[in-house]
Each structure stands twice: as C-alpha cells, then as structure tokens.
Amino acid sequence: MSSFTPNYTTLIVDIGDVLFSWSSQTNTSISPKVLRKILSSPTWNDYERGRISQAECYARVGREFSIDPAEVGHAFQQASDSLQSNEELISVIRHLKARSNGSLHVFAMSNISAPDYEVLRTKHVDWSLFDDIFTSAGVGDRKPNLGFYKVVLARTGADPSRTIFVDDKIDNVLSARSLGMHGIVFDDHRKVVRALYNLLGDPVERGRQYLTLNAKKHLSVTDSGAVLRENFAQLLILEATDDRNLVNLTDTLRTWHFFEGKPLLTTEEFPFDLDTTSIGLTVMSSPEDVAHSVMDDMLDYIDDDGIIQTYFDHHRPRFDPVVCVNVLTLFYSYGRGHQLDRTLQWIREVLLHRAYLDGTRYYVTPECFLYFVGRLLEISNDGYLAIHIKPLLIERVQERIGAEGDAMALSMRLCLCAYLGLRNNVDLRTLLPLQCEDGGWEIGWVYQYPSSGVKIGNRGLTTSLAVKAILEMQRVPSPPPSPSTAPAISSSSKPIPLPNLLS
C-alpha cells in the first residue's frame, strides 16, 4: 500500500487569465494593443492598489493616451462583460481539495481594483471553493511586489515550501519562487492541470487506477503507431503487479511466442523465442519437469562461442545480451546456471566494458540490459553471481543515475536502484512529473525490430514499473549525511515534492 502524504498544503491561484479569461476584443476605438498598455501603466497600477478611484483612473488614462475617459470606461465594461470562468480548472481544483480531506487550502490572489472585483463576484462561480481571496485593492499592493505575497503568506499562515502558486505572468511566478513557493506558469492549460495532479495526487493510487481501468487492454504500440498484441509485455506487467486480471495471457504447455496471434511487421512464419519463453517460465507457474525439458531443448541453441541464441530455429542464428541474461535467469532459478558458464562470462564482459550503452539488437536502452541483469541476481539469489556480478552492476548503475531517459528507462533504473539499495532521488524527481492526467505514465520504448529500427512500447508496462519503482524506492532509507559534507548544500539535497516517498 502507498503511504502517500502530499507535501503541498496550500494552493494560491491567480484570477485573471487563469481562473477567468476575458476578451480584449471590443467594438470601441481602443485597440487590444492599447488596452494592454493601459493595464501595464502606472495609473492602472495605482487603481489596482486602491490609491485612486475608478473615475480618476479613467480620467488619467484618457489624458495619457489621448482617449475619451468615457470610451475607456466603455472598453473595460465590455471586457468585464466578456469574463468567462475556466470551469475545467476550477473542477480540477475542487476535486483535489475534496480528495485532500481538508489538508489542502485554496486561495485566490489577484491584481484587481475594488470596483472590478465587485463585478467579478457577480459571476456564477462556486466561490466557496476558496478559503480566502486576496486582491491588490484590499491589500494595497500588487504582484509582482514581494509585499503582496508576504501579506498573503502571513494572513494564511501558509508555509512557502508547501505552497503552490499559479499565475500567467512569469514575473509574478518568479517572485513567488523567490519566497520559496513552487511556481507554475499558466501558459498551457493541459500542462498546468497535469502538474497539479502530479503535485497534489497520490502517484501510486493514480497509477493503479489507470492500470485497473484499462485492464486487459494494455496493448503494445510501435513508434509508427501500429498496435500489436504480444506476450512479453503482458508477462512483465504481471510480474510487476502480481495481478492476473490486468493482462491477457494464455497459458502455454511449454514454450512462449513473442507475438500473441499473427506476427506483425515481420515474417508470417515467426519462430518461438528463448527470451519470451524464459520470462514466461519464471513468471508463470510451470511444472518443474516441463521447465527442465524446455531448458534441455535450449541447450541445443548455443553457438560456437558458447553463447545462447535467441530463437528455437537453427536457420535464424541471432544473439543478444538481454536475451542471454533472461535465459540465464531461467537456468539459475532451477540450479542449472553452470550449464551456461560461457554465456555468463560474455555477459560480464558486456557489463564490464559498457557494451550496452547504445542498447542491444532487440532492446532500446542501456537500462533494459541493466534491469534484466538485476532481475537475474534477484530471482536467482545465487552466491556466485552476488560476488562476481553484483559489485560491478552497482558501479554501472551508479554511473547511469541522472542520465536522460524516458519514463520506462527511469522506472527500470529506479527499480534496479531499489534492489541494490541505492537511494536515487534524482531520477525519482524526474519520473514523477511524467505521470499523465489519466494516471498512467508516458510510453517508454523497450524493444525494437532490428531490421527496421521500429520501436515497441507499452504504457501499461511503463506504468506498472513506475508504480513499482515509487513503492520500492520509498523503502530504501536515505544514507546518513557524511560529517565531512554535511554543511554543503547541493541541488540533489533540496526538498522534493513528496517527502514520504522521497525523503
């Protein structure tokens, strides 16, 4: 179970151009360009801070821009009439506040004059959503002046480090950030909604909901948009979640085929492979005599260098280090690893010399190779591998921390770090914002067609491993600070949005 507690307890949202939008298109003689200049003028600044009346403001603006004050009033009356609430964003905030069970407080903070605010409050909006609303006219100061923010923080008692601030102007967001708040620039509606869900929602709960809602529909896709049914991802989803209800799998008597049904983007007659079969026999419950019988057959597919091959087909000689690792996992799990000593020796050379850094024949990223090596160690629990492979694997994984990668690569790296006992806040900090509105993670590429380079991925698999990574990293203790480095502050030691997951 997830023990998620959101780090953020306060949300401060701008009103104009965030919660409400208004049209600068009027049928007056004042162009939108001039309207924007008026809004940024010192006179309007004084008006929003309550220093001058509306009549005096319109009179000054008229003189400054050579416009009839009545025309100024008419233009802004039209703008006020055009105000439309952002109901989707308001609904999202309402949902997040309700889900917080009272732990999230929501405030509005706006540069707005007293008369304009009176008009705004006539709009049909659920104003009870806000615990309080702060206006520049009411406070006597305006954004981006720091004084306005300090008043709001003082009156609400909000902790800046636990406060999210949303505004459409970068200057206003910068001021909020300078005081320790988490600032979000409202420049893309979807991006902001996603950020709020990721900062205030439980990533594990949301990920599990995505997996459940899409149960038995977690199909793989190519980077060219083709949908394909295959067993490999289904088996790995089952292994990561231990939930058979999420996947489409048909038990086999002996060997497993990569494709479920007709092969796609390859030859119609496609052989069974040792890779999927090894995963299948280690994930699914198979009679021991059947597993040994299959391994006996596999020993017929070793090349002259002693390296296990990919297919049950002597006419298709192929080898790949990840495939070798997965076959080794099967053999070691049944106490037969010694039969593939030369394959293991080659895998260690691949690991030692970083031969995997550009991926492999069938697998896209370095993390694929490293992840499955970790899986070999974890499943086999073999003393020899722990001595001769594990220390080198730890070195290679530490080298990858912070490297660029998609959600799949990051999740694999984090799961591996958790198994090895390596605390990895850096990659966890990168993975969390990649969660989408629907709770799933963005697709990550796992394997590829070697002849065409077409990549294959599966959002269900990415999400399964992301959820697993978060939960397992939560259980890895943070190392105690070194006495020699304790006073130093680095970017990696900054507070992270989910303290109970990342502390």
CATH code, domain with 102: 3.40.50.1000
Residues 341 and 441 in one domain: yes
What letter represents residue 50's amino acid?
A: G
Residues 387 and 493 in one domain: yes
Has residue 373 got a pLDDT over 90?
A: yes
Residues 239 and 291 in one domain: yes
Query: 76-85, 106-115, 253-262, 324-333: which range is least confident on average?
Result: 76-85
pLDDT computed for residue 267 by the predictor:
83
What letter represents residue 11's amino acid?
A: L
Has residue 495 got a pLDDT over 50?
A: no
Has residue 30 got a pLDDT over 90?
A: no
Has residue 110 got a pLDDT over 70?
A: yes
Does residue 5 or residue 83 have the better pLDDT?
83
* Mean pLDDT computed over 18-43: 80
Q: What is the mean pLDDT of the chain?
A: 91
What letter represents residue 396's amino acid?
A: R
Q: What percent of the chain has pLDDT over 90?
A: 78
The three-class DSSP label of residue 450 is: coil
Residues 6+ apart with CB under 8 A from 308: 274, 298, 301, 302, 319, 323, 324, 327, 328, 340, 343
- 100: closest CA among 124, 131, 125? 131
Has residue 365 got a pLDDT over 60?
A: yes
pLDDT computed for residue 24 by the predictor:
55
CATH number of the domain within which 337 lies: 1.50.10.20
The number of distinct structural domains making up the chain is: 3
Helix, strand, coil percent values for the chain (each to nearest 5) = 50, 10, 40
Residues 304 and 177 in one domain: no
Residues 194 and 318 in one domain: no
Reported pTM:
0.85
Q: Which of 63, 82, 101 is the last residue of a domain?
A: 82
Does residue 286 or residue 498 have the better pLDDT?
286
pLDDT computed for residue 484 by the predictor:
52
Q: What are phi and psi of 500, to 5 degrees?
A: -75, -20
Residues 110 and 180 in one domain: yes
What CA–CA distance (Å, rounded) separates 43 from 476?
A: 57
Q: SS3 string of 133-163?
A: EEEHHHHCCCCCCHHHHHHHHHHHCCCHHHE
pLDDT computed for residue 85 by the predictor:
87
* Mean pLDDT computed over 351-366: 97
* Mean pLDDT computed over 132-142: 96
Residues 197 and 291 in one domain: no
Q: What percent of the chain has pLDDT over 70?
A: 93
* Mean pLDDT computed over 252-270: 87
pLDDT computed for residue 4 by the predictor:
54
pLDDT computed for residue 483 by the predictor:
57
Confidence label for 302 from pLDDT (cuts 50, 70 and 90)? very high
Q: Which of 177, 201, 225 is the last residue of a domain?
A: 201
* pLDDT per position as a tens digit, 414-456: 999 999 999 999 999 999 999 999 999 999 999 999 989 999 9
The conformational region for residue 36 under phi > 0 = left, psi -120 to 50 = alpha, else beta, is alpha
* Mean pLDDT computed over 135-161: 96
Residues 470 and 427 in one domain: yes
Bond into 32 cis (ω within 30):
no
Which residue range is the domain that position 75 belongs to?
23-82
Q: Which of 151, 185, 201 is the last residue of a domain?
A: 201
The three-class DSSP label of residue 75 is: helix
DSSP-assigned letter for residue 138: H
The residue assigned the tokens 């070999």 is: 376
Q: How far is CA 287 from CA 48, 236, 313, 369, in A?
A: 77, 20, 24, 28
Residues 371 and 487 in one domain: yes
pLDDT computed for residue 23 by the predictor:
60
The three-class DSSP label of residue 143 is: coil
Residues 6+ apart with CB under 8 A from 451: none
* Mean pLDDT computed over 124-141: 94
Confidence label for 497 from pLDDT (cuts 50, 70 and 90)? very low
Residues 70 and 140 in one domain: no
Task: Tokens for 259, please give them.
Answer: 């494709």
* Residue/partner pairs of 315-320 with CB below 8 Å, 24 or more apart: 316/271, 318/361, 319/361, 320/275, 320/360, 320/361, 320/362, 320/363
Residues 56 and 124 in one domain: no
* Mean pLDDT computed over 231-259: 93
Residues 346 and 401 in one domain: yes
